[in-house]
Amino acid sequence: MNNYNKILSLSDRCVKCGLCLPQCPTYQISRNENESPRGRIALIQSLASHELKGTDDTLHRHLDNCLLCRRCERICPSGVEYGRIMDMTRQHLSQARPASRLHKFGRQLLSRHMQAAYRSLRLYQKSGAEKLLRPLLRQNKKLAWLQSLIPSLPAAQKFRHHYPVSDKLSGHVAIFTGCMGENAEAQTLAAGIDLLHALGYRVSLPREQGCCGALQQHSGQANESRILARNNLQAFSHEYYDAVLYLASGCGAQLMDYPKLDWSHAEQKAQAEQLQTKLHDITGFVATALQKRPLSFAALEEQVIVHQPCSQLNALRLPDQASDLLAHIPDIHLSTLSEDTACCGAAGDYMLRHPHQARILRQHLLDKLLTDKVDIIVSTNIGCRLFIQTGLENKTIRVVHPVQLLAEQLARD
């Protein structure tokens, strides 16, 4: 069965019932049927049936506008694998009309050279070049938008590859850091190590690991995504780990999907399935570990609201683990957004490709987040946190990973 037949087979499960329409962020903005999941599936079916060409500008535009938030997939009564259909279709489209060199460079920078990019951006901020160039950047809408997406970056931290414990050993876990963990998400990583150490876990950060490949997978670069996945499978197969924990739900969703990639060797698929059995969200893992080995935490009398990323709700189908975790903090005032809250607009590199729609979606989310007094916003996905943070007018509101907030309240001896 060729890929077009696979796409048709998967998409034929869609009965065009329309239950996805009120769930789709882009349809809600445009009210254009082609911007809805069933509309996009209809376009994909026309492509797979050779009624539309892969070079069709209208086809590209409507499919590229999709955030791949997968809300439609979660509520679909027919069980349509919308995310898989979109990935396969974008792979075809990338062959028919390859991405520009600039887009390819951007993906390489984000996935393979994030450490160098982070250091360059921090130097840009600390050297005074940012303040000097800000008036010039404001004269160009695209550059001004890119500038607005860069938060104040903390200094990079150095991490060891192994963190042993001298007390009673609870187990040995590895942390998937990906391309963001040791720079933009360094505070979360350090907090996770502290909590796991306090809970008696030996922690490893395999040096060979790298980007999860989500950005490539969802942009049609299936071969590049498999290369990155194969690297991570090798990195986490060297030692025995009781669990492999991921910091970002976006990475977790991609890691959990490794067995579904088009592997040419049965051994690689088996490795992917083995890794899948060990994968856990660090938030949920720590929450469960605290039930077995309670720790003491200082009180925090602040208003904290939990944001649940699309990757957590719709791809991983996980419950609100952040609230369970933060409930260990005395006097905390916790609230959550309803599960029908739309995507924040970050969606990987979507905010770079579609700034207008991303800005609208972020503002919709901020309007919900800021209905009442808020001191801290927590979210388990780094992309969401950074995008939300840069959209806040009130810079005193903190946006952090729940694990970081919990570690800050850990009672020290």
CATH number at residue 35: 1.10.1060.10
Whether 198 is covered by a domain: the verdict is yes
pLDDT digits (tens, 9 = 90+) for 97-111: 766 666 666 666 666
Q: Three-class SS of residue 334?
A: strand
Residues 171 and 266 in one domain: yes
Q: Which residues of the chain have pLDDT under 70?
A: 1-2, 98-114, 413
Return mean pLDDT, the chain. Answer: 90
Q: What is the pLDDT of residue 71?
A: 95
- Assigned domain for 82 exists: yes
Domains contained in the chain, number: 4
Do 272 and 204 lie in one domain? The reply is: yes
Same domain, 277 and 317: no
Asked if residue 334 belongs to a domain, the reply is yes
Residue type, 138: R
**Is position 413 within any domain?**
no
Same domain, yes or no: 235 and 322: no
Give percent of the chain with pLDDT exceeding 70. 95
The answer to whether residue 157 sits within a structural domain is no
315 shares a domain with 236: no
Structure tokens at 321: 């683990």
164 burial via Cβ count (<10 Å: 0-12, 13-18, 19+): exposed
Q: Are residues 275 and 384 located together in one domain of the fold?
A: no
The C-alpha torsion from 55 through 59 and 61 to 64, rounded to 10°, is: -100
Same domain, 234 and 277: yes
Residue 173, strand partner residues: 203, 243
The answer on 333 and 270 residing in a single domain is no
Query: Do the domain assignments include residue 301?
Result: yes
Contact partners, residue 97, CB within 8 Å, separation at least 6: 54, 55, 60
Q: For the chain, how are helix, strand and coil distributed in percent, rounded to 5?
A: 55, 10, 40
Residues 84 and 117 in one domain: no
- Predicted pLDDT of residue 1: 46
Percent of the chain scoring above 90 in pLDDT: 69
Residue 366's domain is classified under what CATH number? 3.40.50
Q: What is the pLDDT of residue 105?
A: 61
CA 155 – CA 118 distance, rounded (Å):
10
The answer to the question of residue 252 being in a domain is yes
Residue range of the domain that includes 336: 295-408
Q: Does one domain contain both 221 and 135?
A: no
Same domain, 274 and 321: no
Looking at the fold, whether 281 and 340 belong to one and the same domain comes out as no
